[in-house]
Structure 1
Amino acid sequence: MNEVLKKISGIGIVPVIKIEDIENAVPLAKALIDGGLPIAEITFRAAGADKAIKAIKEAFPQMVVGAGTVLTIDQVKAAKDAGAEFIVSPGFNPKTVAYCNEIGMPITPGCTTASEIELAIEMGLEVVKFFPAEQSGGLDKIKSLAGPFANMKFIPTGGIDLKNLSTYLSFDKIIACGGSFMVKEEFIKNKEWDKITALSRQAVDIMLGFEIAHVGINAANEEEALSVANMFGMLFNMLVKNGNSSIFAGTAVEVMKAPFLGKNGHIGIKTYSIPRAKAHLESRGIKFNENSVKLDAKGKIAAIYLEQEIAGFAVHLAQK
């Protein structure tokens, strides 16, 4: 997959923005970054979209910025000159797609039918926009299309909000969801940057779904581990289960039979998507121990440890 599309997949949510006043571009971008969404799709539905793209990229070079509602080759040229890194169009225009391919610009055209997806595949695309998502059959329609087109990925946009965001993102053929619920026109017009940040953070929280999976306790040996696990089991009516390298008391307490990672032990944090959680944490400067990766039977990441310890505990992400 294209590197820009990989970044979009890691972020998981694409704010779709109409900016009428260029002065709002930079503070809006900061509000999104503060909310954990360093990405923006600036639509050409408003005049001066290219100026907004340029202003954001100059202020925040690390932000992934693209152009939306792109209908013509001239708009592609204007977006590229302004610093746009990806193009989104509401429908499938072969001329626009061909031009983007020619200049190496990632484009996700709107496709809601099998015929449109076949055209996209013929033109070498790996990801398409599914728009308008809810009105075109929603997740059920995407799953139906994903059957015969197993290698195609989707970015659904239209009718997606905090209520159905996690449902869409639970399907592994969806790399991200587009939406404007956190960047409504009235929020931008009224300069409600705090509200945009709060809604963005709420969306990220829903998408990642962080929660404690278990706490691991380091014991000196198997005898001590069994004693500790039995104590938790007796006190809190937890079922004790002896495993190869550890003993569980219920599902929340794991006692290691020999010292493992972390001075005191480890803490597992469950998330809906380890790759997205990893990308979001890395964007905040967190480093991971790549040698700690554990894969599941399908070859996907099942767990990975952070490099740093917290209060003497190693911390790892675990797939829900």
Structure 2
Amino acid sequence: MNDLFLKIRDIGLVPVIKIDNPDHAVPLGRALVAGGLPVAEVTFRTDAAEEAIRRMKAKLPELLVGAGTVINPALAQKAVQAGASFIVSPGFNPATVDWCLERNIPVLPGVNNPSLIEQGLSRGLEVFKFFPAENSGGAPMIQALSAPFGSIQFVPTGGIDANNLAEYAKLDAVLAIGGSWMVKADLIQNEQWDTITALCREARLKLQGFSFAHLGINQDTPEEAKKTANVFAALGFALKEGNSSIFAGTPFEIMKSPFRGTKGHIAISCYNVERALAYLAPYGFKGVEETAKREKGKLKVIYLDKEIGGFAVHLVKA
């Protein structure tokens, strides 16, 4: 997978933008960056799209600017000449895809069935736009398609908003999610940049799906662990003993010997561990690679490199 798609995966959301006034391009781009979503798919549905891409690219080097609704090679050429770093199309147009591949331009063609995916695979593609997402079966359809095509990734777009975001964010086959609810046309038209920034921040946090999984309590010996576990049992928590710890229900894990963390550890569940690490990086956290556990190349568990209140923290995929 190329570096651009890895950056998009780490961001997790691709704002799909319809812009009518090129003067709005730069302040809109700044609002996206401030909101933690430094990526924009500017759709070629208005006459302002080309100039908007040109201005964003010139003034905001930190913003990944792509072009959407690119339905033929001529539009792809216009978009690239304006500065678009990637091309997105609503369907699978072989001429457009081939034009991009011949020039090493990342392209996300739209697919919603196995035949279109196979056309892409025959050209070496591994990332596709899934469109229109909700009308094409939504998250269950992506799960169904990922069974025979396990190596590919999707960027579902169409009908997704804050209410159903989680359904897609949980899926291993979803690279990122496209949407416009944080950049609605009226917000752009009315120059509500602070509102857009706030919506972007809210969306990116919701995308992570952070929630409490369990608390790990360090004990010095198996005997001490058993005594502590029995207290939880008296409170009605069912005990389940393993080699290194005793679980009391799902909220508490009593360690039979000191483990990571001065006092113990806190497990935080999330929808995508790689994406969560990228989200936490600006807060000064990194993953400890030696603690990583993966399945089919995807991170499932990893500890962070800093404690919180004396507790080690590990992320676990929900």
TM-score normalized with structure 2 length? 0.89
Tell me how far 1:190 sits from its aligned partner: 1.2
Provide the residue aligned with 1:44 in structure 2. 44
Tell me how far 1:46 sits from its aligned partner: 2.3
Tell me how far 1:106 sits from its aligned partner: 0.8
Tell me how far 1:227 sits from its aligned partner: 2.7
Tell me how far 1:12 sits from its aligned partner: 2.3
Kept after mapping to 1: 8 A contact 2:169/2:272:
no
Provide the residue aligned with 1:79 in structure 2. 79
Tell me how far 1:304 sits from its aligned partner: 0.6
* Residue 133 (1) aligns with residue 133 (2): yes
Where does the alignment leave 5 or more consecutive residues of structure 2 unmatched?
Answer: none
Provide the residue aligned with 1:250 in structure 2. 249
* Residue 310 (1) aligns with residue 295 (2): no
Provide the residue aligned with 1:107 in structure 2. 107
Q: 1:282 to 1:61 in 2, by over 3 A?
A: farther
Residue identity opposite 1:138 in structure 2? G
Provide the residue aligned with 1:273 in structure 2. 272
Map Cα deviations across residues 241-271 of structure 1 (whole Å, 9 max, x no partner). 3322222222222222222222222111011
Q: 1:245 to 1:80 in 2, by over 3 A?
A: same
- 1:56-205 residue pairs with structure 2 within 5 A? 56-205=56-205
Residue identity opposite 1:246 in structure 2? S
Q: In 2, Cα distance between the equivalents of 1:220 and 1:14?
A: 48
SS at match of 2:196: helix
Tell me how far 1:105 sits from its aligned partner: 0.6
Map Cα deviations across residues 216-235 of structure 1 (whole Å, 9 max, x no partner). 2222222332333333333x
Provide the residue aligned with 2:21 in structure 1. 21
Q: 1:255 to 1:139 in 2, by over 3 A?
A: closer
Q: 1:317 to 1:8 in 2, by over 3 A?
A: same
Residue identity opposite 2:18 in structure 1? K
Kept after mapping to 1: 8 A contact 2:218/2:257:
yes
Residue identity opposite 1:317 in structure 2? L
Residue identity opposite 2:42 in structure 1? I
Residue identity opposite 1:199 in structure 2? L
**What is the identity percentage for the equivalent residue pairs of Structure 1 and Structure 2?**
51
Q: 1:276 to 1:21 in 2, by over 3 A?
A: same
Tell me how far 1:144 sits from its aligned partner: 4.6
Kept after mapping to 1: 8 A contact 2:133/2:158:
yes
SS at match of 2:302: strand
Where does the alignment leave 5 or more consecutive residues of structure 1 unmatched?
Answer: none
SS at match of 2:181: coil
Tell me how far 1:201 sits from its aligned partner: 3.0
Kept after mapping to 1: 8 A contact 2:245/2:255:
yes
Tell me how far 1:7 sits from its aligned partner: 2.1
State the aligned residue count: 318
Q: In 2, Cα distance between the equivalents of 1:268 and 1:83?
A: 43
Q: 1:306 to 1:57 in 2, by over 3 A?
A: farther
Q: In 2, Cα distance between the equivalents of 1:219 and 1:21?
A: 63
CA RMSD in angstroms, aligned pairs only: 2.4
TM-score normalized with structure 1 length? 0.88
